[in-house]
């Protein structure tokens, strides 16, 4: 079995993510120059999700995404912003948290926080 890169999405994980992806809808208040389906073919949502994971895992800038693998960086950014605005990432986080709670269990009644606020020492 071939291993996948850290930003690639396995089929099992994609089955859980795909239902949460918001559908693309045309704005009814906007006038478009092209009919629906005209222009470039849209980027597949799985590739957009992998591009987002690539930026998170590698720390590269969104504009530095490899075009050969992920397509237009600006198109990926547009989808990222749309998904963020409709709450996709919050829904993904909640689904992951619920699944973890089913598997491992989360002690919701007891939580702890640790921290310290001290002045940083002077550099020597």
Contacts 24+ apart (CB under 8 A), 104-111: none
Higher pLDDT, 25 or 61: 61
Q: Which percentage of the chain shows pLDDT scores above 70?
A: 95
Tokens of residue 33, six digits: 């120059």
pTM to 2 decimal places: 0.75
What's the mean pLDDT when you consider all of the chain?
A: 85
């Amino acid at each position: 079995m071939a291993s996948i890169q850290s930003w690639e999405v396995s089929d099992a994980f994609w089955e859980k993510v795909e239902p949460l992806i918001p559908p693309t809808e045309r704005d009814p208040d906007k006038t478009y120059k092209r009919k629906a389906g005209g222009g470039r073919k849209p980027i597949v949502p799985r590739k957009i999700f992998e591009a987002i994971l690539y930026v998170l895992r590698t720390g590269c800038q969104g504009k530095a995404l490899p075009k050969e693998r992920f397509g237009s960086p600006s198109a990926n950014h547009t989808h990222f912003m749309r998904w963020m605005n409709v709450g996709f990432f919050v829904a993904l986080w909640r689904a992951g948290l619920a699944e973890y709670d089913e598997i491992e269990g989360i002690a919701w009644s007891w939580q702890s926080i640790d921290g310290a606020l001290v002045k940083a020492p002077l550099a020597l």
